[in-house]
Amino acid sequence: MIPLHDINPRRHGPPLIVIALIAANTLFFLYELTLGETRLESFLLAAAFIPGRLLADGLSAGDLAAGAQSAFLSMFLHGGWAHFLGNMLFLWVFGDNVEDELGHVRFLFLYLAAGYVATIAHAWANPLSALPAIGASGAISGVLGAYLFAHPRARIVTVLILGFFIRFIQVPAWVYLPFWFLLQLLPGLASLGAPTAAEQGGVAWFAHIGGFIAGPVLRLLLGGGRRAPSRGPRRAL
């Protein structure tokens, strides 16, 4: 099921951080396209987050600093058009309302923090992996988790494709997003017992899982869901 948009109007202005993140991801992706296959592979091996490189010989302060830098850079790198366009679509559909609730600065912190937690979750599940872990999926998964708890009743306009059968349906967020999470959780758990398959599969399932779980936690820590103070008439005491 591919989300097209949600029926959930914003209360405030345009989602400036969502737009800026999409622009930044686009610039990085266009840069990747200019490198060519050989140079791109060298660039990703040098710049992207690789769990095995960080965890192979234990952790030092230098390793942690380098790991954090590569983790944040990896959030803006993608492995192809489908990877890039899919991530940007999900960010656009779900990110604006989370930013609308939290505000620009807190939303940006949630996005980056969820992406970092997602990277750590991937490293925990695949500590010896030599593959670069790239993509905004972990950070966007955090946005999805926050959206679920902020707007569970919002309806997601979705295109359902089953072979030649195509239909547009509206699915409530409390159905769509847990179903999406289940599609990450099941193969993620299966990959724990199959390290070879996990090494070859190319999908960082636990980055999605970790980011999704981190999203609502970060939202609460950042003040999401709290009622605004009453602005009605006050009684003089």
CA distance 141 to 122: 13
- Whole-prediction pTM: 0.88
pLDDT at 237: 35
Please choose, from the candidates 161, 177, 183, 159, the residue with its C-alpha nearest in 3D space to the C-alpha of residue 169. 159
- pLDDT tens, N- to C-terminus, the chain (237 residues): 899 999 999 999 999 999 999 999 999 999 999 998 889 999 998 888 988 877 665 555 555 566 788 889 999 999 899 999 999 999 999 999 999 999 999 999 999 999 999 998 998 888 888 888 999 999 999 999 999 999 999 999 999 888 788 899 999 999 999 999 999 999 998 887 655 444 445 788 999 999 999 999 999 999 987 644 433 444 333
Beta strands, E only, the chain: 2-7, 155-162, 165-172
- In the sheet with 155-162, reading across from the earlier edge strand, the strands are 2-7, 155-162, 165-172
Cα separation values, 78 from 30, 87, 159, 197, 224, Å = 10, 9, 24, 21, 30
136 neighbors 78 (Cβ within 8 angstroms)? yes
Token look-up 């999203």 returns 215
